[in-house]
Chains A and B, each alone.
Chain A
């Protein structure tokens, strides 16, 4: 297994999903606690107009333009949701529904108008990502390191720094925003930074692993961790560990399970990881020591 191809093909792909899973699980924990997890789903649709504009402006699939465009439309979407909630007094679910369908439709319109058939924008690429296409020509050499690994590592450093430095403030403003506001704990500023980071993480992960996996990594590890612990510190590192576990298990299941079962081809890794994430959530829902459905039934009868 640890052949040269492993380091050229599998190792960079694994590294990417592991980095993505830590990022998404950490940020996802806050979204789940704030009951805003559906936001990521909205973001995954809202990036389209930005991607199209990025492609149009750069004339090709230039990574910088596309990422910039996607981040910008994420921010517009998030601010749009908050504006609708605040000024049109629409509840959050409806506001998110309105914004992301509009943004997605706008993306389709842009796609038809500006690009036509000139540039090929692959929908599959958006959904499943291009994990299988990554390779590291000379492993451990900086120059040929896939761009996604660099981007995600930088994002991870920034995110970890933000969360460690402001952990107290994030805890109080997530738990009791009114009180935090009263105490002058920079609630609005922190929330805005969180939104910006969420958008950046979502976009950089969408690019690397596709939107399905990102949504699942944002929600499932964080929600599983919620079933397994009662402290916010534990919630954070536990969700990251669950994310890493699902990423590795899913990746190897996708690569080797079909072959072991006698099929000819391996299956899509991003999709498989998302499935593992879902299974993990269901298992923790059923068997969590404190809150599991089955565990609690058992306690009742003993």
Chain B
């Protein structure tokens, strides 16, 4: 447990090189431990940009603090599951290989992977109900199973702060239920989870707090407050899902 706030974001603005307008301007929020936060907004609102900006993967302005310090001092405590499209699914790695990657910093530089490491990794695959698929090449798994492999990697990392970019996009109901249950388990352990999401109904059910964004932070609060008709109309232009 860390006495510091897991994440403090202050006046974050992101702009892609060569463009005049900010994709995201002056977003400020904090994330407490044991909180599941959904990031919602229409297409192009800057949801993924927000995560990438926070994680210093794209140029940005503003201040971001992780556990009271800089990103580089807390890297291993932070897990990031990117959008599915950013992965090369043909790559010759098995589900177990990917899960083990979460343990690399713990295993340490110059050290080889031991049998004990593999057994530990298997226990994370079991948590996401993939133990039977451990030796399968990742491309041969279904979309939902692939998402679970990456969740297992985040579990293996034992991260305190998790960022997930559209984890529910195009995956089966079983996996969605399993992931939401896992999130609740992690929350109970005091972990913080930030999820880019697009489905309003499930967001209301499963998230403690919602950041509604559309280039700027529109609203930040519990789901029934942030997802008010008024806010949704302003963000989605009256078209609600």
A2 within 8 A of B: no
> Measured between alpha carbons, how far is A234 from B137 in the docked complex, in Å?
13
Quick check: A182 and B104 within 8 Å, CB to CB?
no
Within 8 A of B (CB), among A17-57: 33, 35
**In A104-131, which residues have CB < 8 Å from any B CB?**
none
Q: Which residues of A contact B241 (CB under 8 A)?
A: none
Are A182 and B75 closer than 8 Å at their CB atoms? yes
Q: How far is the CB of A51 from chain B (nearest CB, A)?
A: 35
Interface check B113, CB cutoff 8 A: yes
Given known contacts A171-B93, A231-B93, A183 and B88 CB-to-CB distance under 8 angstroms: no
Say if the beta carbon of A145 comes within 8 Å of chain B: no
Assess the B82–A179 pair: CB atoms within 8 A: yes
Question: Using Cβ atoms and an 8 Å threshold, which residues of chain B touch A140?
Answer: none
CA distance A178 to B101 in the complex (A): 13
Does A165 count as interface, using CB distance less than 8 angstroms?
yes
CA distance A175 to B149 in the complex (A): 14
Query: Which of B72, B78, B80 is most buried by chain A, counting CB atoms within 10 A of its CB?
Result: B80
Assuming the A-B contacts A168-B104, A175-B93, are A182 and B109 also in contact, with contact meaning beta carbons closer than 8 angstroms in the complex?
A: no
- Judge if B176 is at the interface, Cβ distance under 8 Å: no
A interface residue numbers (CB < 8 A to B) = 33, 35, 89, 165-166, 168-169, 171-172, 174-176, 178-179, 181-185, 226, 229-232, 234-235
Known: A169-B109, A182-B57. 7 other contacts (CB 8 A): A168-B112, A171-B93, A171-B97, A171-B101, A175-B93, A179-B80, A182-B78
B71 to chain A, nearest CB (A): 8
Check B76–A184 contact: CB distance below 8 A. Answer: yes
B206 CB, nearest partner CB in chain A, Å? 25
Interface centre among A33, A175, A229 (most CB of B within 10 A): A175
The size class of the interface chain B forms with chain A is 20 to 34
**What are the 7 tightest A-B residue pairs by CB atom distance, in nearest-first order?**
A230-B137, A184-B75, A172-B101, A232-B92, A235-B92, A175-B91, A230-B92
> Distance in Å from the Cβ of A121 to the closest Cβ of chain B?
41
Q: How far is the CB of B63 from chain A (nearest CB, A)?
A: 19
Please name the residue on chain B nearest to A235 by beta carbon. B92
- Contact status A183-B75, CB under 8 Å: yes
Task: Name, among B57, B82, B101, B107, the residue most crowded by chain A CB atoms within 10 Å (CB to CB).
Answer: B101
B91 A33 Cβ-Cβ under 8 A: yes
Q: How many Å lie between the Cα of A181 and that of B112 in the bound state?
A: 20
* Cα–Cα distance between A33 and B101 once the two chains are bound (Å): 17
- Kindly list chain B residues whose C-beta atoms are within 8 Å of the C-beta of A179: 80, 82, 101
Contact A183 B92 (CB under 8 A): no
- 25 A-B pairs within 8 Å (CB atoms) are namely A33-B92, A35-B88, A89-B18, A174-B91, A175-B91, A175-B101, A178-B80, A178-B82, A179-B82, A182-B55, A182-B57, A182-B75, A182-B78, A183-B75, A183-B104, A183-B105, A183-B157, A184-B75, A184-B105, A185-B104, A226-B92, A230-B92, A230-B94, A231-B137, A232-B91
CA distance A235 to B94 in the complex (A): 13
Bound together, the chains give a CA A182 to CA B72 distance in angstroms of 8
The digit string for B80-119, where 1 denotes a CB below 8 A from any CB of A, is 1010001110011110011001001101011011000000
Instruction: Tell me, rounded to whole Å, the shortest Cβ–Cβ distance linking B167 to chain A.
Output: 15
Task: Report B170 CB to chain A, min CB distance, Å.
Answer: 20
Mark out the residues of chain B between 12 and 66 whose CB falls within 8 Å of any chain A CB in the assembled complex: 17-18, 55, 57
Residue of A172, A178, A231 touching B86 (CB-CB under 8 A): A178
Q: Which residues of B contact A183 (CB under 8 A)?
A: 75-76, 104-105, 157
A232 to chain B: which residues have CB within 8 Å?
91-93, 97
A231: nearest chain-B partner, CB-CB:
B92
Complex interface: chain A residues within 8 A of B17 (CB):
89
Point out the residues of chain B lying under 8 angstroms from A181, CB to CB. 57
In the bound complex, residues from chain A placing their C-beta under 8 Å from that of B113 are 168
Cβ of B55 and Cβ of A231 under 8 Å apart? no
What are the residues of chain A within 8 A of B82 when measuring CB–CB? 176, 178-179
How distant is the Cα of A300 from the Cα of B90 in the complex, in angstroms? 21
